[in-house]
Amino acid sequence: MPGFRPVSSPQPERHTSMLIRAFAQHDLAPLTELTIETFRPFYEDSFRPLMGDAIFAIQHGNWRDDYRKQVAELHAPERHTYVAVAEAEDGIAGYVAWSVDPVGRKGSVTILAVSAKHRRHRVGTALCEHAFEEMRALGAEVVEIGTGGDPFHAPARALYERLGCTPLPVMVYFRRL
């Protein structure tokens, strides 16, 4: 998108009352908590009741710790993985993490998380567009962005479709043995 600067730029990008900037180490704890807060309803209110405690325990029983580890490893430019943070006047509004395979000319959004009070204010849109522009600048020609087919993920699906992404229906099945 015109007007977006690379995340590595010393000049962060402003959008109305929001600033999109590169990840800094001091963001780790708040981004980890934001991720846990964002996805708690999926794991605890959707996946656990749907699958039952036995499957939940095996598949996602340590989801909070899994995110603590994953978020800490998201920003590693030497591995072509990046994070951009959206800051509003009242704090972090959200973030996006992505990776780029420059040889394969493909980018992938790893996580998009927006705080509850900033949803429906185009934060997710701005973050995705920023990541897409960064991927283009790094040689990507295609982006992959995934989400769930359950009701919790309906807003993400709507966002990605508004951004021009084409859905590929995929089903994942679980069964207790």
Task: Enumerate the domain spans of the chain.
Answer: 13-24+74-162
Please tell me the predicted confidence (pLDDT) of residue 16: 55
- What is the spatial distance between Cα 124 and Cα 111, in angstroms, rounded to a whole number? 11
Please tell me the predicted confidence (pLDDT) of residue 13: 56
Please tell me the predicted confidence (pLDDT) of residue 158: 95
When the candidates are 3.40.50.10490, 3.30.70.330, 3.40.630.30, 3.40.50.1000, the CATH number that belongs to 13-24+74-162 is: 3.40.630.30
Asked if 41 contacts 118 with a C-beta cutoff of 8 angstroms, the reply is no
- What is the spatial distance between Cα 108 and Cα 157, in angstroms, rounded to a whole number? 15
State pLDDT tens for residues 123-169. 999 999 999 999 999 999 999 999 999 899 999 999 999 999 999 98
Please tell me the predicted confidence (pLDDT) of residue 14: 52
Low-confidence ranges of the chain (pLDDT < 50): 1-11
CA 117 vs. chain centroid, Å, equals 17
Please tell me the predicted confidence (pLDDT) of residue 102: 85
Q: What is the pTM of this model?
A: 0.87
